[in-house]
Amino acid sequence: MDSGATMHLAVSLFPGIADPSPEPGFSRLTGFVQKAEAAGLDMVLLADSAPASGGGAANSPMPFEATTLLAALATVTSRIGLVAAASTVAHQPYNLARRFASLDIIGHGRSGWNATMTQAPREAANFSRPEGFSPDDFRRRSEEYIGIVQGLWRGWDADALLFDQSGGRFHDPEKMHLLDHKGGFFSVRGPLNVARSPQDTPVLVLSDLSEADLDIAARTADVILLDDGPLDGTTERYDDIRRRVTGCGRDPDAVKVLTNVAPTANSKLAALADRLEKEFRARGCDGFNILMPAQLSALDDFVDLVLPELRQRGLFRENYRGTTLRSHLGLAGGGDR
């Protein structure tokens, strides 16, 4: 938990949108994200509609792939963090690292990559791997993949670009580093051809973790999303993750644990505030990821009714303290002053 005792709040946006609306898709999503930004939320998580993932058939599918949507949303917002899901099956690690590095420069240090540790059913069959991966291979491959992406994100030092026009030195060659990765699944020389992130590296959000993935997450993640569970188990679970993070030689506050919460249509909003307060004060997590129902208007209820309650109880900050996603999350490298 932060010493400031303020919780972190994210909202998740899913591919299916149930609201009947004549408004084009992107304007509606802009309205949603700008509302979340005006409310001061840490970040919006953009799910990616995996093929055959079984979204509600009644919903109209969102016509956008998540990383392209993130780029567009970055130009109509200025403070809120924007995190896109992107599959390790659908992208080569070099391409994915490059896409997110570029997104982070477009958004001035507000981007993050949400990697799922669970193989989407049937997905590999659309990427020339009809047999898919065994769970063990998928885990080892994911770990190697994440290491490559994070390594590529660090290929250029923050002060590598000189722009020395008269001296003819655009960058300092000593401050550009090859990755030279050779592993079981990939070999990648590097470096990226995108400059260093304004927030050091894009934020890595890991989700859909099994027990066996926890150590990988402890080594690599900035944010871990965990499913909701009985309250008395969450403190133990949170402590376990912090122990693992410390065991990897990292500061336990370098990883933020957020619990997924799905407000149901009939859940009393005051009860929701109570529930979030209880888990947070019991040191069960660092904050919450609110899984928005398919109706975009559900955000209005959360922002207008639950947030003021949380703020009144001193559980959520009034304003953004910095400009990068890392600064919102209280992570190092965020350029916080």
Partner 1 sequence: MTARQIKLGAFLWATGHHIAAWRHPKVHVTAGIDIDHYIQLARTAEAAKFDMIFCEDAAGLREANIGIASQTSRSIGFEPISLLSALAVQTSRIGLVSTASTSYNEPYGLARTFLSLDHLSGGRAGWNLVTSASPIEAANFGSTGLKPHADRYERAREFAEVVTGLWHGKASGHDGQSFSVRDPLDLPRSPQGAPVMVQAGASDVGRDLAARTADVVFTAAQTFEEAKAFYDDLKGRLAAYGREPDDIKIMPGVAPVVAETEAEAREKYEELQALIPDDVGVALLSSYLSISDLWRYPIDGPLPDPPESEGMKSRQALVIEQSRRDNLSIRQLARHFAGARGHWRIVGTAAQIADELQARFESGAADGFNVMPAYFPGELDAFATLVVPELQRRGLFRKEYEGRTLRDQLGLKQPVNCGAA
Please state, in angstroms and rounded to a whole number, the distance separating the CA atoms of residues 191 and 179: 6
Please, how many CA atoms are within 13 Å of residue 220, restricted to the half-sphere of its CB?
Answer: 26
Q: Cα 75 from chain centroid? A: 18
Q: By CB under 8 A, tell whether 21 contacts partner 1.
A: no
Q: By CB under 8 A, tell whether 105 contacts partner 1.
A: yes
Q: By CB under 8 A, tell whether 17 contacts partner 1.
A: no
Closest listed residue to residue 40, CA positions, set 317, 323, 331: 317
DSSP string for 224-246: EEE----HHHHHHHHHHHHHHHH
E strand intervals along 255-315: 256-261, 287-291
Among the residue ranges 165-173, 201-209, 278-286, 294-302, the one whose residues contact partner 1 (CB under 8 A): 165-173
Total number of residues that touch partner 1 (CB under 8 A):
61
Among the residue ranges 2-10, 188-196, 248-256, 317-325, the one whose residues contact partner 1 (CB under 8 A): 188-196
Shortest distance (Å) from residue 59 CB to partner 1: 12
Q: Which is nearer to partner 1, 189 or 283 (CB)?
A: 189
* String of contacts with partner 1 for each residue 190-219, x by CB under 8 A: xx-xxx------------------------
R_g of the chain computed on alpha carbons: 20
Q: Which is nearer to partner 1, 102 or 201 (CB)?
A: 102
Chosen residue from 9, 33, 101, 245 binding partner 1 by CB under 8 A? 101
Chosen residue from 18, 90, 248, 254 binding partner 1 by CB under 8 A? 90
Q: What is the largest CA-CA distance in the chain?
A: 67
- The strand pairing partners of 11, in sequence order, are 44, 290
Binding positions for partner 1, 129-148, rule CB under 8 A: 129-130
Closest listed residue to residue 234, CA positions, set 181, 288, 298, 270: 288
Q: Among the residues of 14-126, which ranges form H helices?
A: 25-38, 66-74, 93-106
Q: Which residues bind partner 1 (CB under 8 A)?
A: 15, 24-26, 49-52, 61, 63-65, 67-72, 74-76, 90-92, 94-95, 98-99, 101-103, 105-106, 122, 125-130, 156, 161, 163, 165-166, 168-173, 176, 186-191, 193-195
